[in-house]
């Protein structure tokens, strides 16, 4: 079992989630975070912290593709353990459909 970050995070990246994770398994891309599925201990404490409702358990019906997506980018991006400012587009893009088209593969700064 793991939790995953889905496309609701894209262009928001509030980062409230990273402060509560006991095992520091969030990784930062340019415009979203992912969770490493092999490091997540399934505690669930990050899920209610996300203002964009982007964190879901892998028991969700469409979660399988997101587990693989999260694993792929967790292995490419730097770890993030400290909250930082949300993206400037966060309020405008929170809850918008079709955000996957905005996804950037570029790594974030981490930290
Ligand atoms: Fe971290 Fe727990 Fe969230 Fe997994 S469910 S990413 S271990 S806070
Ligand atoms: Fe993304 Fe939500 Fe964390 S928007 S950065 S998963 S608090």
Q: What spacing in Å lies between the alpha carbon of 48 and ligand 2's midpoint?
A: 10
Cβ neighbours around 111 below 10 Å, total: 11
Report residues whose beta carbon is within 6 angstroms of any ligand 2 atom: 5, 9, 12-17, 33, 49-50, 52, 54-55
Nearest Cα to 9, choosing from 82, 104, 79, 110? 104
Site to substitute for ligand 1 among 33, 35, 37, most atoms within 8 A of C-beta:
35
Alpha-carbon span 9 to 5, nearest angstrom: 7
Write the CATH number of the domain with boundaries 3-84: 3.30.70.20
Domain extents in the chain: 3-84
pLDDT tens by residue, the chain, 111 residues: 999 999 999 999 999 999 999 999 999 999 999 999 999 999 999 999 999 999 999 999 989 999 999 999 999 999 999 999 999 999 999 999 999 999 999 999 999
Instruction: Note the pTM of the prediction, 2 decimals.
Output: 0.97
DSSP state letters, 2-31: -EEE-GGGTTT---GGGGT-TT--EEEBSS
């Amino acid at each position: 079992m793991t939790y995953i970050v889905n496309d609701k995070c894209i262009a928001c990246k509030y980062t409230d989630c990273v402060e509560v994770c006991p095992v520091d398994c969030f990784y930062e891309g340019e415009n979203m975070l992912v969770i490493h599925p092999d490091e997540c201990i399934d505690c669930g404490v990050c899920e209610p912290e996300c203002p964009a409702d982007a964190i879901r358990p892998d028991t969700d019906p469409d979660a399988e593709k997101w587990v693989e997506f999260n694993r792929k980018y967790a292995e490419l991006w730097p770890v993030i353990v400290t909250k930082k400012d949300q993206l400037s587009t966060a309020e405008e893009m929170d809850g918008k459909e079709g955000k996957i088209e905005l996804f950037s593969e570029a790594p974030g700064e981490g930290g």
